[in-house]
Chain A
Amino acid sequence: MSFLEYAPAPESTALLNLQSEYGLFIDGSFRAGSNPTFSTISPATEKHIATIASASSADVDAAVAAARRAYDSTWSRLSGRDRGKYLFRIARLVQERARELAVAESLDNGKPIKESRDVDVTLVAAWFFYYAGWADKLDHAGLGADPRALGVAAQVIPWNFPLLMLAWKIAPALAAGNTVVLKPAETTPLTALLFAEIVQQAGLPDGVVNIITGAGSTGRDLVNHPDVNKVAFTGSTSVGREIARSLARTSKKLTLELGGKGANIVFDDAPIDEAVEGIVRGIFFNQGHVCCAGSRLLVQENIHDEVVDRLKARLSTLRVGDPLDKNTDVGAINSAEQLARIRELSDIGEAEGASRWSPACDLPTDGFWFAPTIFTNVSTASRIARDEIFGPVLSILSFRTPAEAVAKANNTPYGLSAGIWSSNGSRVLAVADKLRAGVVWANTFNQFDPSSPFGGYKESGYGREGGKQGLAAYLAPAGSSQGVSSRGTVERASGAAQIDSGNVESPASPITTEGSSK
């Protein structure tokens, strides 16, 4: 036998205690939706997991009204310390139910259990712990004394990190004193609904967190609802653009975290084995369903062939398959639609003359699967070098000098992430300074930490999530026309449209060094 064909090591689903049907979580309890229900399936098997309610406009009204009531009557009147206690309680409950949440996430999303276990759920708890600590320290958030909450936040999140994106949205919103209505993605509602149970378990006042499920129209109703003060959206650039357009004449505050086409730059003095690992982590982590993925590899020309050879050897050891197997490195593509898009763009790449390569791997017959793929001989004009593929597909380009690397890295409508690989510290700093990306990783990739702000330039959106900067998205300075004092004086929001300062190109991109945890 071959040792490398490790015997199956599936994580047990026995501890999952799922309902057969989930309603909308409004005002502290589940209720049926008015639109026809839909089914959420496992992308690895296409098997039905649960029946999910779909919210109509009236349901959205009810959810926003519940959030408004909770905001006016309880949440805005609580002290920061008391809000913090609830958040700490949620964080601990997430840790207690970590295994269950990880299994549910892998089942519903298709990502490997080792990632949902070691990255997603771990970070979810970290995010709530981090912002729980901020709840009573808002005077130090950089907005002057006594900053104000905004009111009701409408939050729409994507399917790539369902529970983690929920945490990125809900934790800072609640810490700052807002109440929320959140809509998870249509294909991945499961963990948000388990989170609703955690909200009940934590005894959060009714209506502070509302979770409504549905398709794109539900999200549209939510962000356009007149009684919403803040909209936070993570997802595609086209939807983000539509939201920005529809919110343009309102007083709603908006943050957008959109697509990306991150450049991962490998210089010839890079630590080569670790760089190869970083390339793999950059694009094959979460099947490449990562907005900040390092989907454009820029390799210095004098080491191009060696890096490609090593990368191919490494990719041959990746294990693609059952997301619930603890040894799986790459799981299933989240949906048939996404798979079709990845196939289409990959075919275009081939038609445009790029050389396509995938390791030999047996893909399951049921479910949505795409083998890890790399393209060499990619020109900068090729669509696979320009468009976000959002799948396990890497486009490899080369450069000759640092100046060319910077020019190519910045030559994209996006500006979310970039990576630099070099053993030369001063080169790393000099290049990082010139990259127009919200996050620049040095000798690492796809590392996240609640204390580090995250967000984009240009078509990758505006506003920052995480860190102190992430609080600013849910707060207004004291005395401003918008928002309500976190000490309890109620003022209804009014006033001019406000856009977060995060869209201004600030000279200093935050550099994440490798010290931070995943």
Chain B
Amino acid sequence: MTIDRLVSPASRATEVLGGELTESSLKRYLNGISGVDAVGLEARAADLGSRSIKTTSKAWALDRIISLIDLTTLEGADTPGKVRSLVAKGLNPDAADPTSPRVAAICVYGDMVPAAVEALGASHGLDKGPGGINVAAVATAFPSGRASLAVKLADTADAVAAGADEIDMVIDRGAFLSGRYGQVFDEIVAVKEACRRPDGSFAHLKVILETGELNTYDNVRRASWLSILAGGDFIKTSTGKVAPAATLPVTLLMLEVVRDWHRLTGEKIGVKPAGGIRTSKDAIKYLVAVAETAGEEWLQPHLFRFGASSLLNDVLLQRQKLASGHYSGADYVTID
């Protein structure tokens, strides 16, 4: 007989589960969550995807999509120059139209955080005033997460120290799939602690589930609950490095979890689909899913984000079309 292992006493989990938190109490709780019927979930997602968003609603949606984008570059070939160019695009998405809203954040690897912070200058910080943009850093041995906890924590602390406002961490999918929920939980708690700044405030923590590797909707639902219980501010679908990345059914499922968490505790958790959302048409389906599942108040950058890069230009083209009445072309929006 093995002795039950204690897990970190994260405050949310302690409140919801009660008593002393152990690996098995966590497991019992997560396994007790109602299952997901895949056919029904996909049918509901398809139904939401068939909404017809026209005229004034479409104009509002396009602007809102831009302001929800985490404009992202996560390449081995990234340079400070590339990041500066991305920041410039985020600050002024449509070169021909200064009324275009700015994106929510610039998302980069940890070592590019200083370049992003510097390029943003006075515009750094979503909460510092209108037009502010956050810097998000992927951390914890992104995208695989295959490193020791010490390395993951150092990775996180380094990005926070460099000025990152948001940390996009990956969960240990191997540990999750082999049933070591306690380990996944403890890691999220530890990374959250590593997000603490010297002044006591925290960088926002987005927890990437990598739903393409979790494979089943039941796993996604459990991993979502686990991430929230451990202290995540956002749950995020994917790294963008694994296919399939974000899908509408997976995002809908995660929205159902944050809605249920809100029903349970009154607390609002964010959702970020990332990877694979390339067109305005697709992005609008996500807005519909958010509004009709979690509620319209989730359509703001503190509660919903798109992890995307090519999406922005498609939205800008649609936006120009709405304004001018005709389609322009790829050369009328800037590459970053």
Binding site for B on A (CB under 8 A): 1-9, 114, 118, 269-275, 277-278, 317, 326-327, 423, 443-444, 514-515
Cβ A6 vs Cβ B57 within 8 A? yes
Residues of B280-295 at the interface with A, using a CB-CB cut-off of 8 Å, are 287, 291-292
Which residues of B are found within 8 Å of A274, using beta-carbon distances?
Answer: 36-37, 40-41, 44
25 A-B pairs with C-beta separation under 8 A: A1-B60, A3-B57, A3-B287, A3-B299, A4-B292, A6-B52, A7-B54, A7-B57, A7-B58, A9-B53, A114-B50, A118-B50, A269-B35, A271-B37, A271-B40, A273-B44, A274-B44, A275-B37, A278-B40, A326-B52, A327-B51, A423-B34, A423-B37, A444-B39, A515-B39
Residues of B11-44 at the interface with A, using a CB-CB cut-off of 8 Å, are 34-37, 39-41, 43-44
Cα of A278 to Cα of B58 in the assembled complex, Å = 29
Which residues of B are found within 8 Å of A275, using beta-carbon distances?
Answer: 37, 40
Which residues of B are found within 8 Å of A1, using beta-carbon distances?
Answer: 56, 60
Q: Mark B81-92, 1 if CB is under 8 A from A, else 0.
A: 000000000000
B256 within 8 A of A: yes
- Given A2-B296, A118-B50, answer yes or no on A7-B56 (Cβ-Cβ < 8 Å): yes
- Given A269-B34, A274-B44, answer yes or no on A443-B39 (Cβ-Cβ < 8 Å): yes
Interface residues on B, range: 20 to 34
B201 within 8 A of A: no
Known: A6-B53, A118-B50. 9 other contacts (CB 8 A): A7-B53, A269-B34, A271-B35, A273-B44, A327-B52, A423-B35, A443-B39, A443-B40, A514-B39
Which residues of A are found within 8 Å of B51, using beta-carbon distances?
Answer: 6, 326-327
B61 within 8 A of A: yes
Cα of A7 to Cα of B54 in the assembled complex, Å = 6
Cα of A118 to Cα of B53 in the assembled complex, Å = 18
Which residues of A are found within 8 Å of B57, using beta-carbon distances?
Answer: 3, 5-7
- Name the prevailing secondary structure of the B interface residues: helix
**Which one of B34, B43, B58 has the highest number of Cβ atoms from chain A below 10 Å of its Cβ?**
B34
Cβ A4 vs Cβ B40 within 8 A? no
Binding site for A on B (CB under 8 A): 34-37, 39-41, 43-44, 50-58, 60-61, 64, 256, 287, 291-292, 296, 299
Shortest C-beta distance, A250 to chain B (Å), equals 45
Shortest C-beta distance, B173 to chain A (Å), equals 23
Shortest C-beta distance, B121 to chain A (Å), equals 32
Which residues of B are found within 8 Å of A118, using beta-carbon distances?
Answer: 50
Shortest C-beta distance, A389 to chain B (Å), equals 25
Closest 10 CB pairs of A and B: A274-B40, A9-B52, A271-B37, A326-B52, A274-B37, A7-B57, A514-B39, A423-B35, A272-B34, A7-B55
Cβ B291 vs Cβ A3 within 8 A? yes
Output the nearest chain B residue to A309 by Cβ-Cβ distance. B263
Output the nearest chain A residue to B43 by Cβ-Cβ distance. A277
Output the nearest chain B residue to A325 by Cβ-Cβ distance. B52
Shortest C-beta distance, B310 to chain A (Å), equals 24
Which residues of A are found within 8 Å of B60, using beta-carbon distances?
Answer: 1, 3
Cα of A311 to Cα of B8 in the assembled complex, Å = 36
Which residues of B are found within 8 Å of A272, using beta-carbon distances?
Answer: 34
Which residues of B are found within 8 Å of A5, using beta-carbon distances?
Answer: 57
Shortest C-beta distance, A340 to chain B (Å), equals 31
Cβ A317 vs Cβ B292 within 8 A? yes
Cα of A423 to Cα of B35 in the assembled complex, Å = 7
Which residues of A are found within 8 Å of B292, using beta-carbon distances?
Answer: 4, 317
Cβ B37 vs Cβ A443 within 8 A? yes
Shortest C-beta distance, B271 to chain A (Å), equals 15
Shortest C-beta distance, B154 to chain A (Å), equals 40
Output the nearest chain A residue to B64 by Cβ-Cβ distance. A3
Cβ A277 vs Cβ B40 within 8 A? yes
**Which one of B37, B43, B57, B256 has the highest number of Cβ atoms from chain A below 10 Å of its Cβ?**
B37
Which residues of A are found within 8 Å of B55, using beta-carbon distances?
Answer: 7
Shortest C-beta distance, A48 to chain B (Å), equals 28
Shortest C-beta distance, A355 to chain B (Å), equals 21
Cα of A392 to Cα of B96 in the assembled complex, Å = 51
Which residues of B are found within 8 Å of A271, using beta-carbon distances?
Answer: 34-37, 40
Output the nearest chain A residue to B51 by Cβ-Cβ distance. A327
Which residues of B are found within 8 Å of A273, using beta-carbon distances?
Answer: 34, 36, 40-41, 44, 256
Which residues of B are found within 8 Å of A444, using beta-carbon distances?
Answer: 39-40
Shortest C-beta distance, B35 to chain A (Å), equals 4
Shortest C-beta distance, B50 to chain A (Å), equals 6
Shortest C-beta distance, B290 to chain A (Å), equals 9
Cα of A515 to Cα of B39 in the assembled complex, Å = 8
The 8 Å CB contact of B291, one of A4, A8, A515, is A4
Cα of A269 to Cα of B299 in the assembled complex, Å = 32
Output the nearest chain B residue to A423 by Cβ-Cβ distance. B35
Cα of A13 to Cα of B60 in the assembled complex, Å = 27
Which residues of A are found within 8 Å of B50, using beta-carbon distances?
Answer: 114, 118, 326
Shortest C-beta distance, B287 to chain A (Å), equals 7
Which residues of B are found within 8 Å of A277, using beta-carbon distances?
Answer: 40, 43-44
Shortest C-beta distance, A256 to chain B (Å), equals 31
Shortest C-beta distance, A361 to chain B (Å), equals 15
Shortest C-beta distance, B241 to chain A (Å), equals 29
Cα of A443 to Cα of B296 in the assembled complex, Å = 29
Shortest C-beta distance, A314 to chain B (Å), equals 9
Shortest C-beta distance, B88 to chain A (Å), equals 29
Which residues of A are found within 8 Å of B54, using beta-carbon distances?
Answer: 6-9
Shortest C-beta distance, A315 to chain B (Å), equals 12
Cα of A4 to Cα of B50 in the assembled complex, Å = 14
Shortest C-beta distance, A458 to chain B (Å), equals 29
Output the nearest chain B residue to A303 by Cβ-Cβ distance. B34
Which residues of A are found within 8 Å of B256, using beta-carbon distances?
Answer: 273
Shortest C-beta distance, B260 to chain A (Å), equals 9
Which residues of B are found within 8 Å of A4, using beta-carbon distances?
Answer: 291-292, 296
Output the nearest chain A residue to B287 by Cβ-Cβ distance. A3
Cα of A23 to Cα of B31 in the assembled complex, Å = 64
Which residues of A are found within 8 Å of B64, using beta-carbon distances?
Answer: 3
**Which one of A273, A277, A423, A515 has the highest number of Cβ atoms from chain B below 10 Å of its Cβ?**
A273
Shortest C-beta distance, A270 to chain B (Å), equals 7
Cα of A423 to Cα of B34 in the assembled complex, Å = 9
Which residues of A are found within 8 Å of B52, using beta-carbon distances?
Answer: 6, 9, 326-327
Cα of A443 to Cα of B44 in the assembled complex, Å = 13
Cα of A327 to Cα of B292 in the assembled complex, Å = 12
Which residues of A are found within 8 Å of B34, using beta-carbon distances?
Answer: 269-273, 423
Cα of A8 to Cα of B61 in the assembled complex, Å = 15
**Which one of A2, A118, A269, A327 has the highest number of Cβ atoms from chain B below 10 Å of its Cβ?**
A327
Cα of A3 to Cα of B64 in the assembled complex, Å = 10
Cα of A464 to Cα of B165 in the assembled complex, Å = 64
Cα of A5 to Cα of B40 in the assembled complex, Å = 25
Cα of A1 to Cα of B57 in the assembled complex, Å = 9
Shortest C-beta distance, B222 to chain A (Å), equals 14
Shortest C-beta distance, A214 to chain B (Å), equals 37
Cβ B40 vs Cβ A514 within 8 A? yes
Which residues of B are found within 8 Å of A278, using beta-carbon distances?
Answer: 40
Cα of A3 to Cα of B68 in the assembled complex, Å = 15
Cα of A290 to Cα of B207 in the assembled complex, Å = 45
Cα of A507 to Cα of B128 in the assembled complex, Å = 70
Cα of A4 to Cα of B53 in the assembled complex, Å = 10
Cβ B39 vs Cβ A3 within 8 A? no
Cα of A273 to Cα of B296 in the assembled complex, Å = 19
Output the nearest chain B residue to A280 by Cβ-Cβ distance. B44
Output the nearest chain A residue to B292 by Cβ-Cβ distance. A317
Shortest C-beta distance, B250 to chain A (Å), equals 13
Cα of A273 to Cα of B294 in the assembled complex, Å = 13
Shortest C-beta distance, B245 to chain A (Å), equals 23
Which residues of B are found within 8 Å of A7, using beta-carbon distances?
Answer: 53-58
Cα of A3 to Cα of B57 in the assembled complex, Å = 6
